[in-house]
A and B are shown apart, each in its own frame.
Chain A
Amino acid sequence: MSSNHAVEILLVEDSPQDLELTLRALRKANLANRIHVARDGAEALEFMFCEGAYAARTIEDTPKVILLDLKLPKVDGLEVLRRLKGEPRTKATPVVVLTSSKEQRDLVESYHLGVNSYIVKPVNFEQFTQAVLELGMYWLLLNQRPGGER
């Protein structure tokens, strides 16, 4: 069982506009309470593996879902995905790719690397909000089970 203070969602997003819109969507769905934001791939990895600035974190404090943009500075989204899914400690954390890219190869590569969901961010904000809501809920609920069962 995760503690109440544990981060429930890790949002990896470099664009401040998209970040704000995403947070707004999450807020609307009442999912914004325990969100941690990483602004690039490297930070996301440090967070997950408790390195660098996040060395104080415990690795067991894993978020319930990671919302990952693909186009990121430093380490890009697919690389982040590869590292997370290639590591036993982080492999089980659901990753939802949240991206502007409709490119087939991004989609294929993501699934190949073990992504749990893939959402193309719609330009239309209502649709976007809807998508975030549905997916966030789904994975949060799915992960609300006792940690021992995982």
Chain B
Amino acid sequence: MITSDCHERESESTASPMKAGSAGRRGRPVSISNNKSQAHWLIEGGEMGKLIRSMDWTRTPLGPIESWPQSLRTTVSLCLASNFPISLAWGPRHVQIYNDGYWPICGGKHPQSMGQDFTECWASPWPVIEDAFTRARAGETSYIENQRMFLDRNGYLEETFFTFSFSPIRDETGGVGGLFHPVTETTIKMLSERRTRALRDLAARAGKAQDVEEAFTLAAQTLADWDLDLPFVLFYVVDSQGDEARLVTQKGLAAGSPASPRSIGLSTPGGNAWPLAEVFRSKQTQQVDDLETKFGSLPCGPYPESPSTALVLPIIPPGCGGALGFLVAGVSARLPLNEAYRAFYDLAAAGVTAAVASARAYSEERKRAEALAEIDRAKTAFFSNVSHEFRTPLTLILGPLEEELAESHDPLPPARRERLEMAHRNSLRLLRLVNMLLDFSRIEAGRIQASYEPTDLAGLTLELVSVFRSAVEKAGLTLNADCPPMPEPVYVDREMWEKIVLNLLSNAFKHTFDGSINVTLRWRASHVEMTVADSGVGIPAAELPRLFERFYRVKGTKSRTHEGTGIGLALVKELVALHGGKIVVESKEGQGSIFAVTIKTGREHLPPDRVEAARTITSTATRDSAYIEEALRWLPNSSLQTAGSSIACAADGAALSKGAEPGADARKPRVLWADDNADLRSYVSGLLAPYYAVEAVADGEMALDAVLRRPPDIILTDVMMPRLDGFGLLRELRSDPRTRTIPVILLSARAGEESAAEGLDAGADDYLAKPFSARDLLTRVRTHLRLARLRRESALDLEAANKELEAFSYSVSHDLRAPLRTMDGFSQALLEDFGSRMPEDARRYLRMIRKGAERMSALIDDLLSLSLLSRQILNKQKMETAALVRHALRDLDPEQRDRRVEIKVGSLPPCVGDPALLKQVWINLLSNALKYTRGRDPAVVEIDSRMEGKDRVFFVRDNGAGFDMAYADKLFGVFQRLHREDEFEGTGVGLAIVHRIVRHHGGRVWAEAAVDQGATFYFTLAGGSKE
């Protein structure tokens, strides 16, 4: 059914109108005559000349050649002499004679077509040539260019194009004897042009597609216009799993017909309507033949004949590993599938591929853009919703609070009033933040409604500055305002100008600790300039470019508070821009900052509909009291006097004790509480005061001072604080042995697992996210105090046990030795005073008593130094290992007397450790080596080191008695001995001491040996041995 190659086709068309004619031709064989002399004028006539000469013309209406009139002869010889395809139709029966050039046009009709009736021979295209033919018979020359016609020359109707003319030939009678018919076949050119147009069309239309499916649909629509070349097209798209192809669009065939199934599986080749699975795999175009056998007659245009062949082409956009889809395209029933036609299919598939690729790129780009736009919209909507939703409950909080506070008939007792005032202040602050966020979301959404009014800007500015005066002066600063009256009103939105001025003042106040804040306003004709200059901490140059970015906060600068949203300055910038103005900042670290706002004068730059316009959306003007209340709270020692309160909030470090006697406080656990927010400071202090003695401070440094002055039982600290933040405080506390064990709870507004983990990593005992409940806080404090007490108690127990042990070893040192000395001393006295009168055995016994006492003494010394090790604090320092070994050897000198001992010292790099203890290690290892080499002559002791991985390994090797490796694990145990006392003396403690010292240094010690083959002792000092 399917053949890979089929350039020529065998048409079995039964519908050919040629059938009858062909049958007729078959019944009229041409006889060949050998009479050459009769037609000598035909000799030059090429192949056709030969044919004409050889034919028996007597059976034709023309009769024998000899009888042909001169006019015919002349015309025939002209025709045969020409290279141009020419045919003649002579006589009333239109007998056709043609030359070599015309021959291919006849195709399979030749040679029957020679001498045939022209009208009969060209019956198939007759409808399009009849008129020209008839006119020429009537004596009128006709010319037709690129005439499309269907020739049955190759056994099927073939779509062809010809340019030709018919010219009348006058015969001897003067009438029209025949027709002169020069012809050019333009099929190749015309098809090529048509296909080029199709491809251009495809590129133009399908290239506009915005997604893959649309690309296919547009491609199908476009290609449908070119059904002469593409009788049908089907587009299949591969699904995401790659196991099925789905029909997305089709032209020429209805969807779901046997030849156009809606889906075709890709997993199993064979048995499907189209070999998509095969093409999917091979990525190569495949040709499918015998479509009629497969599907029956296909009901597609443009001809009555059904296409018998189709091509399946993969659509593989660049960057895709495999086919994304398939183009199944029918081959015209009336065109040979030649190279040019095949190339057209390839180009069409390439065009579709390009359209699909660009659609894919486009749709991905669009999806990204849409996603971004969606996020942006969502964010703006979120801010807007949140801010709106917050304002309602805030209003309901503020209203009743203010009423309650204003109540004069039945005033609240001061303690309860304080709490309400705190709530009121913080509600105002929240309202201000919410308003700022709302402003932002409105600016973002382009919904901000400014109302520009002609304003006495100097007056308004002075009014706003005066709001801040008391707070600034309370902080010991001066506030100067130099705002001369402006010559004409300036168009500003008053609410916005208020926010600009108050935010800049608030910012200046926050970062200025001494000196002044100066506000100036200047008229500069085309614009006005306002500057807010402070003598504060300034802004590092690197931070300036980002200063006006939203949520950006300059890190690590000194400020009155760490509180802030990072949106104040960003908002100011937006508001200034809405006035057609700009804001710039100049700053020098340590000297201060100048913010300069310029806005245009006049009203030309403002949108006319917003000048003196009414507002329709909620005002976000925040009462200036919110700014000032907040600013006042940044002052240290802020004792809430603005609200006439009496809560003593000991920001200066004095213990806060609310109504409790000092005696009672002394017994209470002491809590140190650090936070830069004065309200929170007093709120938490109030919560804790009934149970604990609370000291509240405003930042990490004050906290550290307070801790060192008098360590509290527990520390609660905020994370974000000026000067020294919570993490910094933790670091300081944990690095000081005096404060290392004090429990610390971090309180922070930064919620989330991550922050908690960060806090715990930094050494905090607990982490509490704001807002926290009073009960939660109290529980945590109680828990950690209890834990700390338990820790302390167990530490005390341990200390007591240690002390006991120390006392024990102290008395061992004294009291165990005294009786030994008695034994030894009196044995000696006995020997001295009565030795001469004693039998030899008695003297030997006394000597044995003395030896026992000495051995016991050595044992005591070793045990004492072993027990000492567990209490000793390492005094680590860098030292010369070689010198250490030298000293050890010198101490061991007596053991080497009267013996031949070779000591080889290799390369010993410096090490880090406790010199006294390491010397002990070397002494013990070397004396061990000397002891067990006693029988060797010479004894050889090697002392050396080498690298093993990252560790420096020191070792002592001897050629002594060695030991059985089976007992290697017992080597370093206390009192473990591998030799009998009478072989090698010793207490069995020396190596245990080595082991303990090395382990104490974080190193390890091990040995290798064999009986009578010597032993090697290795040790490392982790972290100590350096090259």
Q: Which residues of A contact B (CB under 8 A)?
A: 15, 17-18, 20-21, 24, 70-71, 99-103, 121-126, 128
Report, nearest first, the 7 A-B pairs whose CB atoms are least far apart: A17-B822, A21-B825, A125-B828, A123-B857, A100-B817, A125-B825, A100-B814
**Contact for A123 among B813, B815, B853, B864, CB less than 8 A:** B853
**Chain B positions near chain A (C-beta within 8 angstroms):** 810, 813-815, 817-822, 824-829, 850, 853-854, 856-857, 861, 864
Contacts of A121 in B (CB 8 A): 817, 821
By a CB distance below 8 angstroms, the chain A residues around B818 are 15, 17-18, 100
Known A-B contacts A102-B861, A102-B864; A123 and B814 likewise in contact (beta carbons under 8 Å)? no
Bound-complex Cα distance A122 to B814 (A): 11
A82 shortest CB reach to chain B, Å: 18
Query: Is A99 within 8 A of B825, CB to CB?
Result: no
Cβ–Cβ contact A21 & B810, under 8 A: no
Task: Give Cα A18 to B856, complex, Å.
Answer: 18
When distances are taken between beta carbons in the complex, the residues of chain A under 8 Å from B854 are: 123-124
Residue among A18, A70, A101, A122 making CB contact with B822, cutoff 8 Å: A18
Bound: A38/B825 CA distance, A: 21
In the assembled complex, the CB of B795 is this many whole angstroms from the nearest CB of chain A, namely: 22
Q: 5 other contacts beyond A17-B822, A123-B853, A123-B857, with CB at 8 A cut-off?
A: A20-B825, A24-B829, A71-B814, A125-B824, A125-B828
Which B residues lie within 8 Å of A24 (CB)? 825, 829
Contacts of A70 in B (CB 8 A): 814
**A21 vs B828: C-alpha distance when bound (angstroms):** 10
A101 touches B821 (CB 8 A): no
A136 to chain B, nearest CB (A): 17
A6 to B50, CA, bound (A): 174
Residues on the B chain within 8 Å of A18, using CB: 818, 821-822
User: Which residues of the partner chain A approach B814 to less than 8 Å between Cβ atoms?
Assistant: 70-71, 99-101
B824 contact set on A, CB distance < 8 A: 123-125
Contact B825 A102 (CB under 8 A): no
Please give, as numbers and ranges, the residues of chain A lying within 8 Å of B829 by CB-CB distance: 21, 24, 125
> Which residue of chain B lies nearest to A24 when distances are taken between CB atoms in the complex?
B829
Question: Which chain B positions have C-beta within 8 A of A100?
Answer: 813-815, 817-818, 821
**In the bound complex, CA of A30 to CA of B824 (Å):** 22
Please indicate the chain B residues that have their CB under 8 angstroms from the CB of A101 in the complex: 810, 813-814
Among the interface residues A20, A121, A125, which one has the most CB atoms of the partner chain B within 10 A?
A: A125
Q: Contact at A128–B864, with CB atoms within 8 Å?
A: no
Q: How far is the CB of A73 from chain B (nearest CB, A)?
A: 13
Q: Which residues of A contact B850 (CB under 8 A)?
A: 124-125
Contact A102 B813 (CB under 8 A): yes
A-B contact pairs, 5 of them (CB 8 A): A100-B813, A121-B821, A123-B817, A123-B854, A124-B854
Which residues of chain B come closer than 8 Å to A103, judged between CB atoms?
A: 810, 813
Determine the chain B residues whose CB is within 8 A of the CB of A125 once the complex forms: 821, 824-825, 827-829, 850
User: Chain A CB within 10 Å — which of B814, B825, B850, B856 has the most?
Assistant: B825
Decide if A123 touches B828 in the complex (CB within 8 Å): no
Q: How far is the CA of A44 from the CA of B312 in the complex (A)?
A: 123
Quote the shortest CB–CB distance from B457 to chain A (angstroms). 81
For the complex formed, measure the closest distance between the CB of B111 and the CB atoms of chain A, giving whole angstroms. Answer: 134
- Chain B's closest residue to A105 (CB) is B810
CA distance A101 to B857 in the complex (A): 12
State in angstroms the CA–CA spacing of A125 and B817 once bound together: 12
A residues near B825, Cβ cutoff 8 Å: 17, 20-21, 24, 125, 128
**Within the assembled complex, what's the spacing in Å between the Cα atoms of A143 and B828?**
32
Separation of A20 and B861 alpha carbons in the complex (Å) = 24
Chain A contacts of B819 at CB under 8 A?
17
Q: Is there contact, CB below 8 Å, between B815 and A21?
A: no
Task: Report chain A residues within 8 Å CB of B828.
Answer: 125-126
A148 to chain B, nearest CB (A): 40
Cα of A99 to Cα of B822 in the assembled complex, Å: 14
- Interface centre among A18, A20, A102, A126, by most chain B C-beta atoms within 10 angstroms, is A102
Contacts of B815 in A (CB 8 A): 71, 100
The answer to whether B826 and A21 have CB atoms under 8 Å apart is: yes
Chain A residues within an 8 Å CB radius of B817: 100, 121, 123
What's the least CB distance linking A114 to chain B, in Å? Answer: 22
List chain B residues, Cβ under 8 A from A102. 813, 861, 864
In the bound complex, CA of A121 to CA of B818 (Å): 9
Cα–Cα distance between A102 and B850 once the two chains are bound (Å): 21
Q: A102-B861, A123-B857, A125-B828 are in contact. Are A21 and B821 (CB under 8 A)?
A: yes
**Please, which residue of chain A has its CB at the minimum distance from the CB of B810?**
A103
CA distance A18 to B825 in the complex (A): 9
**Residue on A with the closest CB to B861?**
A102
CA distance A128 to B821 in the complex (A): 9
Q: Determine the chain B residues whose CB is within 8 A of the CB of A122 once the complex forms.
A: 821
A48 to chain B, nearest CB (A): 23
The docked-state distance in angstroms from the alpha carbon of A69 to that of B818 is 11
Distance of A4 from chain B, by nearest CB (Å): 30
Residue of A nearest to B822 (CB): A17
CA distance A24 to B815 in the complex (A): 21
Compute how far the CA of A24 lies from the CA of B828 in the bound complex, rounded to whole angstroms: 11
CA of A122 to CA of B857 in the docked complex: distance in angstroms?
9
Asked if A21 meets B822 with Cβ closer than 8 Å, knowing A100-B813, A100-B815, the reply is: yes
Contacts of B810 on A, CB cut-off 8 Å?
101, 103
Give Cα A71–Cα B807 distance, bound, in whole angstroms: 13
Minimum CB–CB distance for B815 against chain A, Å: 7
Closest chain B residue to A22 by CB distance? B825
Give the complex CA separation of A67 and B854 in angstroms.
24
How distant is the Cα of A102 from the Cα of B818 in the complex, in angstroms? 12
The chain B residue with its CB closest to the CB of A18 is: B818
Which residues from A are CB-within-8-Å of B864? 102
How close is B860's CB to chain A, nearest CB, in angstroms?
9
Looking at B817, B818, B822, B854, which has the most chain A CB atoms within 10 Å of its CB? Answer: B818
CA gap between A101 and B850 in the complex, in Å = 20
Q: Which residue of A lies closest to B820 (CB)?
A: A123
- Of all chain B residues, which has the CB nearest A99? B814
The distance from the CB of A98 to the nearest CB of chain B, in whole angstroms, is 11
Q: Are B826 and A17 in contact (CB under 8 A)?
A: yes
CA distance A101 to B829 in the complex (A): 23
Chain A residue with Cβ nearest B853: A123
Chain A residue nearest to B821 (CB atoms) is: A123
Shortest distance between the CB of A49 and any CB in chain B (Å): 26
Q: Which of A15, A71, A124 has the most CB of B within 10 A?
A: A124
Considering only CB atoms, which chain B residue lies closest to A25 in the complex? B825
> B861 — which chain A residues lie within 8 A by C-beta?
102
Query: How far does the alpha carbon of A84 sit from the alpha carbon of B797 in the complex, in Å?
Result: 37
Establish whether residues B821 and A17, one from each chain, have CB atoms under 8 Å apart when the complex forms. yes
A16 CB → nearest B CB, Å: 9
List residues of chain A with CB within 8 A of the CB of B820.
123
Most buried by A among B810, B817, B819, B856: B817
Complex Cα–Cα for A126 and B825 (A): 8
Closest A residue, CB atoms, query B829: A24
Shortest C-beta distance, B864 to chain A (Å), equals: 7
Q: What CA separation (Å) do A15 and B864 show in the bound complex?
A: 22
Residues of chain B lying within 8 A (CB to CB) of residue A20:
825
How far is B696's CA from A51's CA once the two chains are assembled, in angstroms?
A: 60
- The answer for the CA separation of A71 and B815 in the assembled complex, in Å, is 9
Report the nearest B residue to A28, measured CB to CB. B832
